[in-house]
Amino acid sequence: MYYIGIDLGTSAVKLLLMDERGSIKNIVSEEYPLFFPHPGWSEQNPEDWMSAIKRGIPKLTEKVDRTRIAGIGAGGQMHGLVVLDDRNRVLRPAILWNDGRTQEETDDLNQKVGKEKLTALTGNIAFAGFTAPKLLWMKKHEPELFGRIARIMLPKDYINYMLTGVHCTDYSDASGMLLLDVRHKCWSREMLRICGISEDQLPRLFESWQVVGTLRKEMAEELGLPETVKVVAGAGDNAAAAVGCGVVGEGRCNISLGTSGTIFITSGSFRVDSGNALHAFAHADGGFHLMGCMLSAASCNKWWMEEILHTTEYEKEQAEIREDRLGTGHVYYLPYLMGERAPHNDPAARSCFLGMTMDTSRTDMTLAVLEGVAFGIRDSLEAAEKLGISVKSSMICGGGAKSPLWKKIFADVLNIELTVPETEQGPGYGGAILAAVGCGEYGSVSEAVKQMVHVTDTVRPDAETAERYEKKYQVYRSLYPALKGLFPKF
């Protein structure tokens, strides 16, 4: 049988077709636009996501027997607010995970409701990218639209709703809404009251591998698929990527270098970081995880290369960066192009270079960008270690992980061993695996990844380079506190 994985990203949807053994048969990518109507705002039209999927799935499946396609599972960008009226019409563009307009609402939640109470209710404090502050922003700034909301959902849940007609979500994605009592895996009635919404407006909750429905007749015809195709609840992109990399069970770690960057640490039990630098979320395997998220990761390198240097020759730009050069530069880069989440929770934070002199070269600044993102991930690793968690190794995936140089920098900056999965398709592969479990191909997510996920490469830190980066990191971590007061002036 065949399984389709949907990776609903910020710039494109990646569609993956695999068989029951995990062998990938085809991959198709379809792009869609991203809108920035005001500085710090970030929006997309949900209809664009669905249009891309309708274009992509027929291409994905054109060379296989479509009657053998059994299931679909999605991993999607988290936190985005999608709202529909009672006639299933999208009320406004989706407000995305990297949108920073809700600072006032975020501050009100953290200060008036209180971080301690929020943590007790949901396991997390408010961040500007989370869904609850966006609802409060709509309530204040778009009251007429807010009053017409019939259904509230996350981006990948909009896809599932269009496919099946079922208003659903999974626990991992719902964890990032600040509406879920993560510890008890139910909606928080108090948070719903605070946001002025009802449980009837929210989706039904499922585990990530559970089947939520089958394809609607009209959708099956449009996609060229059987109506019997089962759709599972799926997962937030980071949880789906972790499944795709085999990071399930207790004490496993995954670093994802996509548009955003995350460090994802699994736990069989619910745990909370008292400093609230890490998110306490449910995992797609039925357990929990701690996650640190920086808003700009591989997007920093893309911005530097394409917008500033006006080149797409990434390898050429990195060619002069030899290993003996790592950790020796005096240029620093703060990776806050869209503000920052972990560990600073500061939408006003801005990206900048520091330490440049007359002998600073283009290559020095390219290296500083790569190092700055690695230092940003280390900020979250430091927060995890304060909980007594010792991370000795991690999987690494995402577009940024395709760079051998960047993987080497990460291994040395974090001073841990990094392993690379044979299949580096992250959320799409994880979504397809969840679909296979939901369709009964495997008895559990753990059983599935043992059979399907394999390691193809290992990158180990160099002791001398790690020591140089240790000293450089200590300088890096002092930069944000020194500049924090200036950022709101920009």
C-alpha distances in Å from residue 101, one per residue of 21, 36, 91, 95, 279:
44, 11, 18, 9, 20
Q: Which amino acid is at 392?
A: K
> Rounded to 5 degrees, what are φ and ψ at 222?
-65, -40
Contacts 24+ apart (CB under 8 A), 84-92: 84/149, 84/150, 84/151, 84/153, 84/161, 85/148, 85/149, 85/150, 86/148, 86/150, 88/151, 90/45, 90/46, 90/47, 91/145, 91/148, 91/149, 92/138, 92/142, 92/145
Q: Residue 339 has what DSSP assignment? A: B
Q: How far apart are the first and last CA of the chain?
A: 54
Residues 449-463 as b or e (16 or more Cβ within 10 Å = b): beebbeeeeebebbe
Residue 227 CB neighbours (<10 A): 12
Known binding-site positions: 78-79
Residues 169-200 as b or e (16 or more Cβ within 10 Å = b): bbbbbbbbbbbbbbbebebbebbbebbebeee
Q: Which of 466, 9, 486 is nearest to 237 (CA)?
A: 9
Q: Residue 39 has what DSSP assignment? A: T
Catalytically active residues, by annotation: 237
State the Cα–Cα distance between residues 57 and 398, nearest whole angstrom. Answer: 22
Residue 318's H or E segment, with its range, is: helix 314-318
Helix (H, G, I), strand (E, B) or coil at 124: coil
State the Cα–Cα distance between residues 438 and 210, nearest whole angstrom. Answer: 5
Angle at 193 between CA 239 and CA 234, to 5 degrees: 20
Tell me how far the alpha carbon of residue 486 is from its chain's centroid.
28
Known binding-site positions for substrate: 78-79
Rounded-to-10 torsion of CA 419, 420, 425, 429: -50
Query: 320 and 363 in contact (C-beta within 8 Å)?
Result: yes
Q: Which amino acid is at 204?
A: R
